[in-house]
Amino acid sequence: MKTDNLNLTQRLMDKMEGNQIEFKLTTGQLERGMETLCAFLNNEGGTVLFGVNDNGEVIGQEVSDKTKKEIAEAIRRIEPSATISISYIPIPDSSKYIISLYAEEQRHMRPFMYKGRAYQRIESVTSVMPQDKYNHLLIQRGGRYNWEAIPNPDLQISDLDENAIIGAVRAGINCGRLPETTIREEIPAILEKFDLLHDGKLNNAAAVLFGRNLYYYPQCLLRLARFKGTNKDEFIDNQRHQGNIYMLLDAAMSFFFKHLSLSGKIEGLYREEELSIPYKALRECCINAFCHRAYHRPGSSVGIAIYDDRVEIESSGTFPPDMTLEKLLGGHSSEPPNLIIANVLYKSELLESWGRGIKLMIDECRRVSIPDPEFHTNGSAVWVTFRYKNEAMGQVPDKYHPSTTQVPPKYHPSTTQVKNLIIALGEKNCSVIEMMKILNLNNRRYFTKDYLNPSVKQGLVEPLYPDQPKHPKQKYRLTAQGRALLQDGENFAAKSNPKEFHE
């Protein structure tokens, strides 16, 4: 067998370097060798030989346990997991070996990456794969080999946010996209129904949708910035949030309400308020960014930038190869690159209807007479620009001083979130969980920061046990000032659908 291996190696060396063979003198060049092996996987397969010089001369190298461990660790850094054959071929009358790493063709799993980057092989040259070629291979792969569908053996159900899962189920039942019996099922059964759990293993989509501890998913990141003026010279606000899609959507919408001005008009007895850019258009754009982005790139993220004259929402990825801008703005079928994630968002009513999001954004902008949103891509990222008139951009009202409990003149709430919490409470006494359920919110941290704390500081909401914040029966109610606000028909539009509260 050893002789056969040596003869095979000699035949390989006789071919010299090319599309399917690479020579490396020692494993001191292991990194370059692994990049080439990755390139072979993205082509028709091939072999990397260590212990052979550029002229095909056998030099050999010593092989220790450390050498074997380094090779094994390097192979584990190829994504998705690939079949690599390792052979240590002894050189006759020597203590040295030729090390052979053979990658067979695995067309159905391409593209492959090594340490987060994809490589290609052209003749005897290995180079970083261009983004457009990578995207084309990724779309060709699809199905169970797509990044979102790859199992993560280290991910456990305990790493997921159970409240977020139950919230998604309730939303799906309320809109008729899930049967009512779903709410009585165990969490593993629900995850299987969402196509997130197979053979006891969670896939990457489960972390993106419901993960709590996302240390191993740096791409689950949202960057938020409010710039002064129309360029990036000066920050007014700069934030970063990491979390699952539902958490990041809450953070994005809170940021819009914080930094975009509200305008109001009287409709009958009630005052209707609207952001400078329609809420529904911004929300739809953010959902599309979270749903359709390229999650396989660890360094990628979603970015939101607010300027005095525009909002830009950016995400990693690109349009399908045959999707022109004309098709995008016209009628087109939906081709979500992350089908599992899109399906869960649809069932939980975040995605209203596939393929109609862009029309909704355009219609909303035209409704308030601002320019249509602009859609751009450079092959590795997609960004949408919403423009509005400079005079429509007002400064965010100063927050009320934390030391005061007086309601400002005319009893006007500081933010839409405070207003919505007052409507949700009404005449009831509610716990935090009960309020979040009424408001259809999943993330307690954002609820506390943007809804509850401002309402308490402004003297509109009070706890039943103010001296015992962690009392097991702690609930909250409106103060007299809060009830006065609720009864002020000019400032509060009646809302019968709780799902609209956080919109």
SS3 state at 29? helix
* Other CB atoms within 10 Å distance of the CB of residue 334: 13
Low-confidence ranges of the chain (pLDDT < 50): 1-3, 266, 268-271, 391-411, 489-491, 493-503
CB contact at 8 A, 360 and 366: no
Q: Residue 32 has what pLDDT?
A: 94
* 419-453 per-position pLDDT tens digit: 888 888 888 899 999 999 888 888 888 888 888 98
Write down the pTM of the prediction. 0.56
Report the chain's terminal Cα–Cα distance, integer Å.
70
Distance CA 6, CA 486 (A): 85
Q: Residue 140 has what pLDDT?
A: 58
Q: What is the CA radius of gyration of the chain?
A: 28
Strand partners, 304: 224, 313
Q: Residue 410 has what pLDDT?
A: 43
Q: Residue 192 has what pLDDT?
A: 94
Cα pseudo-dihedral 445, 447, 453, 454, rounded to 10: 130
The verdict on whether omega for the bond into residue 111 sits within 30 degrees of 0, i.e. cis, is yes
Chain centre to alpha carbon of residue 136: 21
For residue 118 the two structure tokens come to 């994809």
* 109-142 per-position pLDDT tens digit: 778 899 988 999 988 889 998 877 776 676 655 5
Amino acid, single-letter form, for residue 343: N
